[in-house]
Amino acid sequence: MPFKIVVTRNFKHMSEVAAGIVKKNITQTLRKQQEFVLGLATGSSPTGLYKYLVKAANSGEFDSGRIRSFNLDEYVGLPGENAQQRAIHPESYCYFMIQEFFGLLTKKFIETNVPYGSLIDQKQLIRELKAHPKDWKEAGTDAGRSIVIKAKPASEYLAWIRNTVLNGYARKIKKAGGIDVQIIGVGGRGHVAFHESGIPFNAGKVMLVKLDNNTVANAVADGHFSSDRECPLYAVSMGATLVYEAKTVVLLASGKRKIKSVAESLLGDITPDVPISYGRKYAKEGGNMFYVVDKIVGQPLISEKNRLKQKGIKIQSLL
């Protein structure tokens, strides 16, 4: 299947082109099957795309009432007395999706799903991890680390997290028939969702990730949380291997901060140090991979057109 890079003029143009790819896939797929399964991301990268999809859905270009969605990730440890308060906290990814996408649709999706991070009580999680050190291990070499809970832990709480929160989300995606199109952004170090740089590809389809200190510090510095004490310390996230089980993956990247990680993912090794590099393996094994990038990210890639071609990657400039 193809691995294609599309270079666009700016963020707005990138969003419009990516929305066109997604919309075409939705309309073609819904001619053949009753439901469409859409994988979604949070962050600034897909916000423009979501606006175009909302406009297309609300004007009747496709039937949003036949779509089921799954998000990549959600925090564990948001402020709140219970799961409901945590889920609707203004910094939750659930809240973000309602504000940026779900709440703007005239005809709602069949069902929307966000990983079950808000169900976990962070204080109890920390207590259980401390009390049962043999029930789990860390996987990762760099920033965030995946907390891998063994198959039959002594802790009932950790068993519930493994079986219901993590594996349960993966099972629900499988039951829905898998994801037709997965939209992703890219972190500054090439991470996808909370599959951080250095976490092995085999760390789990849905992972419990301990956030690194820099992530926490940056969240406070950026004004998302008033202090370290209010900032989540963990997250539930799809791993790269599950992200790239989708039939089509559309990656969005814009701005100077993304130049290095995007280039490394395409021209360097396929490595957990740059998790999105897994997309090259995915494409070789039959996946349909798109990078839709702005001019800032794309111009250095245009100069590497021949090297990309040797790797089976096509590049199209819309500048």
Return the pLDDT at 1.
64
Q: Work out how many domains the chain is built from and give that number.
A: 1
The 3-state DSSP composition of the chain as helix, strand, coil percent (nearest 5) reads 45, 20, 35
CATH at 244? 3.40.50.1360
Query: Would you tell me how many other CB atoms lie within 10 Å of the CB of residue 316?
Result: 13
Return the pLDDT at 218.
73
Supply the angle between the helices 47-58 and 11-30 in degrees, to the nearest 10.
50
pTM for the complete prediction? 0.95
Calculate Rg over the CA atoms of the chain: 19
Q: Which two tokens stand for residue 27?
A: 């309309």
81: buried, middle or exposed (CB in 10 Å: 19+, 13-18, 0-12)? exposed
**Among 51, 26, 58, 28, which Cα is nearest to 39's?**
26
Q: Which residues in the chain come in under a pLDDT of 50?
A: none
Return the pLDDT at 186.
94
Q: Distance between CA atoms of 142 and 199, rounded to whole angstroms?
A: 7
Query: Would you tell me how many other CB atoms lie within 10 Å of the CB of residue 311?
Result: 13
Question: Is residue 84 within 8 Å of 62, Cβ to Cβ?
Answer: no
Q: Distance between CA atoms of 64 and 109, rounded to whole angstroms?
A: 5
Sheet containing 206-210: which strands, arranged edge to edge? Answer: 73-76, 234-238, 206-210, 145-149, 136-139
Return the pLDDT at 237.
97
Q: Which two tokens stand for residue 195?
A: 């599959």
For residue 160, give its domain range.
Answer: 3-317
Q: Which residues pair with 288 in a beta bridge?
A: 248
